[in-house]
Amino acid sequence: MVVTNSTPEFDVEVDVEDLPDAPAQGIALGTPSVIVDDLHITYHVVGSRAQSAPVLGDSAIQRFLRKGKNLTGGSTEVKAVRGVSFTAHHGESIGIIGTNGSGKSTLLKAMAGLLSPSQGEVYVSGIPSLLGVSAVLMSDLTGERNVMIGGLALGLSKREVEERFDEIANFADIGDAIYLPMKTYSAGMGARLRFAISTAATPDVLMIDEALATGDAAFRERSRVRIDEIREKAGTVFIVAHSLASIKAMCSRVIWMDKGLIRMDGDPEVVTNAYHEFSKAGGK
């Protein structure tokens, strides 16, 4: 059980059964995996720009040179997440939808332990994995080397990574590019390899933030099958995406975020239809 509270420091308690040797498939379906209780995330943006009237005869070059020099010493408070509460269960695949700036990615980062709550608590059973392993991958190294690095970061042994290499490479479907530096990859190739690595081990809680947006239809179908496999082994999957079709195809539940709040939480068809109508009405 990972416990994140409202203090500046994270309190993390790891029980024996939560260590990597305890696979997700040993957990009963339907038991709580993530509890978010009255979560608030507030940012303070320092150095708000002062508003000044345009100067008569001011050239574009003069405005450019002056840019950044009229900042005030104050700060702006941004409430990214405001009092969010919900419980996720083992075996669920939960889509999180909403407009840009609605708090979706901030919520994922808080559940992954990357952001400290300003108020409230987050409880995560097991070890959360925010897609992905990107933090440990190195763009100057080949995809092959990054498969090993990412696999080890997930808790796999060197032998386990070697045994799963072909499966990972085939899933990513990047051909011989697996032997080239990742900095030569397109956005789609990089996203496919990161997804393949991150799901090589069965994570307790997997969080995917827009990683599927760059894939083609075939990759999205492979991803859907892989997500179903994780759910069947009692893992919990969170997916942030703008594609409502992908959300409906991959998720058993959908949370709609709006201005840092949960506007709706429930059946994928019902929630996505309501969000679609909301978007058609101009967000009203």
Percent of the chain past pLDDT 70, that is, above it, reads 75
Better-predicted residue by pLDDT, 23 or 54: 54
* Greater model confidence, 67 or 261: 261
The CATH number corresponding to 91-112+128-280 among 3.40.50.300, 3.30.420.40, 3.40.50.1950, 3.40.50.720 equals: 3.40.50.300
In the β-sheet with 32-46, what is the strand arrangement from edge to edge? 2-4, 119-124, 32-46, 75-89
> To 5 degrees, how large is the angle CA 18–CA 199–CA 163?
95
**pTM metric for this prediction:** 0.72
Rounded to the nearest 5 degrees, what angle is found at the Cα of 219, between the Cα atoms of 93 and 124?
25
Q: What is the pLDDT of residue 188?
A: 84
What is d(CA 89, CA 87) in angstroms, rounded to the nearest whole number? 7
Using DSSP, how many helices (H) and how many strands (E) does the chain show?
8, 10
From 6-10, 95-99, 156-160, the region with the lowest mean pLDDT: 6-10
Give dist(CA 248, CA 225) in Å, integer: 14
164's CB contacts (< 8 A; 6+ apart) are 151, 156, 200
Q: For residue range 149-173, what is the model confidence (pLDDT) as tens digits?
A: 988 988 889 999 999 999 999 999 9
241 pLDDT band, cuts 50/70/90, is confident
Hey, how many other C-beta atoms are within 10 angstroms of the C-beta on 192?
A: 24
pLDDT at 5 over 60: no
Q: What is the mean pLDDT of residues 15-30?
A: 48
Closest to 253 measured CA to CA, from 34, 78, 75, 64: 34
Q: Where are the strands (E) in 101-188, listed by range?
A: 119-124, 128-130
pLDDT at residue 273 above 70?
A: yes
User: Residue 14: is its pLDDT beyond 50?
Assistant: no
Span of 81-85, 125-129, 157-161, 225-229 with lowest mean pLDDT: 125-129
* pLDDT (mean) for 73-84: 86
pLDDT, average across residues 90-105:
93
The contacts of residue 188 (CB under 8 Å, 6+ apart) are: 214, 215, 216, 219
For residue 184, pLDDT beyond 60: yes
Neighbours of 181 (CB within 10 A): 15
What is the overall mean pLDDT for the chain?
A: 81
For residue 222, what are the contacts with CB-CB under 8 A and spacing of at least 6?
A: 171
Exposed / middle / buried, residue 230 (Cβ in 10 Å: 0-12, 13-18, 19+): buried
Cis, peptide link before residue 132, omega less than 30° from 0: yes
Q: CA 153, CA 134: separation in Å to the nearest integer?
A: 10
Predicted local confidence at residue 132, as pLDDT: 53
CB count within 10 Å of CB 271 equals 23
Amino acid letter for position 267: D
Per residue in 200-224, pLDDT (tens digit) is 888 788 888 766 666 677 888 888 8
The answer on pLDDT for 272 being more than 90 is yes
Which pLDDT does position 57 carry in this prediction? 55
